[in-house]
């Protein structure tokens, strides 16, 4: 089995982000068109991490243009995402991986291993 390519890793991260966003909206009882949703992603400025945001955007409908999606550059290490209901203040912190394998094998399940485990605050 060949190591995963950079493009494939980005696509896998986007799928993981989509799954994270979909689960978060369900947990918060929000729809894609809700004006109460807000998404914040903390990650290094690298394709394999920022591609998670592509998936979050696709799932939640949040965007930079609507001012309900924020990207905050973080140091290398774990990524973090927060989906928040602005009206209630309740937020969900979907679990993602601590790190991406360097040139190793990876699937959406590796990046987002706990689809049913969301930290709701």
Q: What is the pLDDT of residue 118?
A: 56
Digit-coded pLDDT (tens) for 72-102 = 988 766 678 899 999 999 998 886 554 444 4
For residue 35, pLDDT over 70 is answered with: yes
pTM exceeding the 0.85 threshold for the entire prediction: no
Can you point out the beta strands (E) in the chain?
A: 37-43, 69-73, 80-85, 91-94, 118-120
List the one residue out of 65, 73, 81 whose CA is nearest residue 25. 81
List the one residue out of 101, 96, 56 whose CA is nearest residue 78. 96
- Indicate the domain borders of the chain: 6-120
6-120 carries CATH number 3.30.1330.20: yes
Digit-coded pLDDT (tens) for 52-79 = 899 999 999 999 999 999 999 887 666 7
């Amino acid at each position: 089995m060949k190591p995963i390519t950079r493009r494939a890793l980005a696509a896998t991260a986007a799928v993981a982000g989509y799954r994270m966003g979909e689960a978060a909206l369900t947990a918060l009882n929000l729809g894609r068109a809700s004006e109460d949703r807000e998404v914040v992603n903390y990650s290094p400025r690298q394709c394999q991490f920022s591609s998670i945001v592509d998936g979050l955007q696709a799932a939640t409908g949040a965007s930079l243009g609507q001012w309900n999606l924020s990207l905050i550059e973080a140091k290398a290490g774990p990524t973090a995402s927060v989906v928040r209901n602005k009206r209630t203040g309740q937020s969900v912190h979907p679990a993602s991986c601590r790190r991406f394998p360097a040139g190793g094998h990876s699937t959406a399940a590796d990046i987002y291993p706990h689809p049913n485990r969301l930290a709701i605050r």
